[in-house]
Amino acid sequence: MKCENVYEKAWWKEGRQHIIGLDEAGRGPLAGPLVVAAVAFPIGYEHEAIYDSKKVSEKKREQLFREIIEQAEEYHIAIIEPKIIDEQNIYRATQHAMEALVQQFQYADGVLSDAMPLPGCAVETIDLVKGDQKSVSIAAASILAKVTRDHIMMGYDHLYPQYGFARHKGYGTKEHLAALKKYGVLPIHRLSYAPVAQMRQLQLEL
């Protein structure tokens, strides 16, 4: 598996030097933060193994995480807490975080996102469906976001071992829903997500 970099190559050929790839991890979980990452590589950069983080093993992701940080021209990572997700909704929270990350770069000649329109960006932006399989910059961002979020959720597993966060990473698995019912809603749960909202309402009524 390898990203073909069609979009990066086209822009590099035009003379654009700073192409930013954006992706996120954690839009679906009931608990924990959303993590958004942005990566820009040197002109002509390719990597045989950087691909959609969901298609790469955990061990390989950890290795690639270190390589991306070492080889990227510039990268940034943002952590968006559940409170912000509840206030803005997950779509807007993702969009706003991506637009804010682009502004942190010293230069931007073009932006590639994984299926997220970014109207607030001042430079040309292309939102690609399955972008983390088509663009090495987006794929790298997906790996940075995924590994960062997994580490955070493993930390929460130590704080709340009865919930099993190291295994399900906050997604709405049977194990997680059972723990939510038995132990209640935590400060790291997203109150705007239906299963959490329903459980919280039940607890308030008791």
Q: Find where tokens 């997500």 sit.
A: 193
Tokens of 92: 């807007």
- List binding-site positions for a divalent metal cation: 23-24, 114
| Mean pLDDT on 94-119 | 97
* Res. 33: pLDDT tops 80: yes
**Which residue segments constitute the domains of the chain, with CATH numbers given?**
6-157 (3.30.420.10), 162-205 (no CATH)
Task: For residues 18 and 174, give the distance between their C-alpha atoms in angstroms, rounded to a whole number.
Answer: 44
- List binding-site positions: 23-24, 114
What tens digit of pLDDT does each residue of 45-96 get? 999 999 999 999 999 999 999 999 999 999 999 999 999 999 999 999 999 9
Q: Which residues contact 37 (CB under 8 A, 6 or more apart)?
A: 22, 23, 24, 25, 75, 76, 77, 78, 101, 140, 141, 142, 144, 145, 148
What tens digit of pLDDT does each residue of 136-171 get? 999 999 999 999 999 999 999 999 999 999 999 999
